[in-house]
Structure 1
Amino acid sequence: MTVRLRPHHLLCMLTYVGKGYTPGFTVNYDRVAARLRDGEEIEIISGPDDICGPLLTNRDSHCFKASVTNRDAKALEAVARWLGLRLEIGSRIVPDAALIRQMRAGFQQGDLRKPCSGCEWTQLCDHIASMDFCGVRTAPHPDISP
């Protein structure tokens, strides 16, 4: 199978520690995190994705807002530039240890943080990055063999 992620969730997956908008959202994200942890391929999509699922019953959900679409565009550009890849909607990547290590470095250095501007989770993500991503559920620490 393939995990479908919108571009800004490529950044969110770096710091997900089990906190979320609702209990249902967190349960769903934990399922997606397990798939990512297992190295399941990611397909970059436009709009709501596998993480958004529990929020989609509400058409007023932030998942549909222009600010999130704008964040997606900025995230896709930043991740592609940082990784040195041509990424677009429909691209597929594998969240292996090398990719996670490279993305975490960019996140800690701030190069991948610009798209996060205005996000309500910024302080939590800053803290997690400062703790070297300890407790993150989406991917094991790349320096530790599973």
Structure 2
Amino acid sequence: MYKLRGHHLFCLLGYQGMGYSQEYVENMTQVHQTLRSDPQTWVQIIAGPDHLCEKYPNSGEYHCQDPHIDNRDRIILEKLGLKIGQVLKWKDIETTIQKNTVPSDIEVICETCSWRSYGVCEEGIQHIMEGKGLRKVQ
């Protein structure tokens, strides 16, 4: 079972092999590929640093404990109707995203995210909306 925070549910949708360090990319790729190949994988929604944060590079400010990131987590979980501590299968998270989001939500919810300019998150939500699951990492 993976433990994931709110905003990482969206990050996984847009993931295309980019990240903060090689170690972070390898970890994110492993999580993404597991969820993509086995959407029956259990996920627990948590507050604060999660499975992906474990490999965030130790260089400067620890972004994973930034109050702005916590706020983004809260907004995303509210939008999806999910709660801290909830355990569900990844496919059920995809269904929840499909029912409760549109690609343009990224513009507002993730306005200050440095990855937003790549446009991959909007594409990822569109892919989920079309019932195609997580996209293959290019």
Classify the TM-score, shorter chain. 0.7 to 0.9
CA distance in 2, matches of 1:30, 1:43: 18
Distance in 2 (alpha carbons) for counterparts of 1:56 and 1:48: 13
Q: Distance in 2 between matches of 1:50 and 1:111?
A: 24
Determine if contact 2:11/2:121 at 8 Å carries over to the other structure. no
On the 8 A contact 2:42/2:89 being kept in 1, the answer is yes
Equivalence for 2:80: 79
2:129 is aligned with 1:129: no
Conserved 8 A contact 2:3-2:50: yes
After superposition, the C-alpha distances for 1:46-72 in whole angstroms (9 at most, x for unaligned) are: 101111111264572111111111111
Structure 2: 5+ residue runs without aligned partners?
134-138
For residues 102-131 of structure 1, the C-alpha deviation after alignment (integer angstroms, 9 at most, x for no partner) is 6257232x246532121111122x245348
Which residue number in structure 2 is paired with residue 116 of structure 1? 110
1:25 aligns with 2:20: no
The number of equivalent residue pairs is 127
Distance 1:64 1:79, change over 3 A: same
**1:60 maps to which residue?**
61
Q: Secondary structure at the match of 2:78?
A: helix
Identity of matched residues, %: 29
Cα deviation code 1:2-33 (max 9, x no counterpart): 11100111111111111111111000101111
2:80 and 2:96 in contact (8 A); partners too: no
Alpha-carbon separation, structure 1, partners of 2:55 and 2:42: 21
SS at match of 2:23: helix
TM-score, with structure 1 as normaliser? 0.73
Structure 1: give runs of 5+ residues left out of the alignment: 81-86, 134-139
1:5–1:45 CA contact under 8 A, matched in 2: yes
The change in CA–CA distance for 1:99 and 1:90 in structure 2 (over 3 A counts) is closer
Letter in 2 for 1:141: K
Residue type at the aligned position of 1:21: Y
Spell out structure 1 runs of 4+ moving beyond 6 A: none
TM-score by length of 2: 0.77
Q: How does 1:95-106 map to 2 (within 5 A)?
A: 95-96=90-91, 99-100=93-94, 103-104=97-98, 106=101
Amino acid at match of 2:2: V
